[in-house]
Amino acid sequence: MLRGIFRTKNLDDILAALSDETRSLKRSLGPLNVTLLGIGAIIGAGIFATIGTAAAGDASRPGAGPSLMLSFCITAVVCAFTALCYAEMAAMVPISGSAYTYSYATMGELVAWIIGWDLILEYAIGNVAVAISWANYFRSFMHDAFGVDIPQWLSTDFRTARKIPGLIERAPHDPIFGLPIVFNLLALGIVALITIVLVWGIKESAEFNAVMVGVKILVLLFFIGVAFYFVSLGRNTCRRRGGVFCLHRLRCGLHGRRGNKESGSRSAYRHHRITYYLHDFLRCSGSGLHRFDSLQ
């Protein structure tokens, strides 16, 4: 039994499925479509919804400020290694299926079954978060731009509605059981619309994705252009120490004085100084956005 659940699928059998015309799909996407699909997956809700609160903070936590770019650099390194892994996987197993097919060919049927359900849960949870975020933005846009006030009980999930005072009481109730009617119709609508586009056809979905990628890039460029106008380099200093001076001290702590040989205690002291200067530099960088808010 254990041998059966860990049974792997031969790579030759996987590649043989490509030559079977009765079981193969029509290739409709070219390199440009695939590239735009990747860009569309990268430029997602994280940039438009969570970056602002991560940089500026909220009522429960302080913001990271400009030092948030350090996390972007770390994430870029991780993404580069992930891309290399997927490139090797695609070269070894040139067939659709992503991590499911790779795990089926290398680690067995049970692992492939777990990976397959994990991918389904990943996409489902990700879609729920994006749909809820889009619903909040759309409701705010309709209220600010057109004065249309969509009821909260039609644009809020039940878990969030329980945390909003008075929303459950104001919502209409079921006349039979007396239960409050609260559901996110906007999130359901956008998921249904995207589903219709996907079912329509892969080529049409790729064209729709290309249009949306263009809109995203234009929005980001517009934001960068407008935000750059408000940048004041003359005020980009820390209250106690200048940010450039902090970086200079960090560089000196890393390299030390040229030509001097360090003892063991001196080396330990220099490592302690590097840690202190790095913390000081991050503090100076993180306070930049708070200083910008105080100037408004």
pLDDT in tens, the chain (296 residues): 666 777 777 777 777 766 666 666 677 788 888 888 888 888 876 777 677 777 877 777 788 887 888 888 998 999 899 889 888 887 877 777 778 888 888 888 888 899 989 988 988 888 888 888 888 889 988 998 898 889 888 888 888 888 888 888 888 888 888 888 888 999 999 999 989 988 988 888 888 989 989 998 998 899 888 888 877 666 555 444 444 444 444 444 444 444 444 444 555 555 555 555 455 545 544 444 343 333 33
Angle between helices 98-106 and 68-92 (to 10 degrees): 60
Instruction: Find residue 155's DSSP bridge partners.
Output: 184
* C-alpha to C-alpha distance for 86 and 102, rounded to whole angstroms: 10
- Comparing C-alpha atoms, which of 57, 194, 71, 31 is closest to residue 126? 194
Burial of 216 (0-12, 13-18, 19+ CB in 10 A): middle
Per-residue confidence (pLDDT) for residue 235, from 0 to 100: 57
* C-alpha to C-alpha distance for 213 and 196, rounded to whole angstroms: 19
User: Distances in Å between the alpha carbon of 170 and those of 105, 113, 167, 183?
Assistant: 55, 45, 5, 13
User: Distances in Å between the alpha carbon of 233 and those of 10, 224, 228, 242?
Assistant: 60, 16, 11, 12
* C-alpha to C-alpha distance for 290 and 56, rounded to whole angstroms: 7
Report whether 224 contacts 51 (CB < 8 A). Answer: no
Report whether 281 contacts 246 (CB < 8 A). Answer: yes
For residue 226, how many other CB atoms are within 10 A of its CB?
A: 9
Which residues have C-beta within 8 Å of that of residue 274, sequence separation ≥ 6? 250, 253, 254
Report whether 250 contacts 278 (CB < 8 A). Answer: yes
- Residue 240's SS3 state is coil
* pTM of the complete model: 0.63
- Max Cα–Cα distance, the chain, nearest Å: 86
What b-and-e string marks burial along 60-70, b requiring 16 or more CB atoms within 10 Å of the CB? eeebbbbbbee
Burial of 105 (0-12, 13-18, 19+ CB in 10 A): buried
Per-residue confidence (pLDDT) for residue 241, from 0 to 100: 44
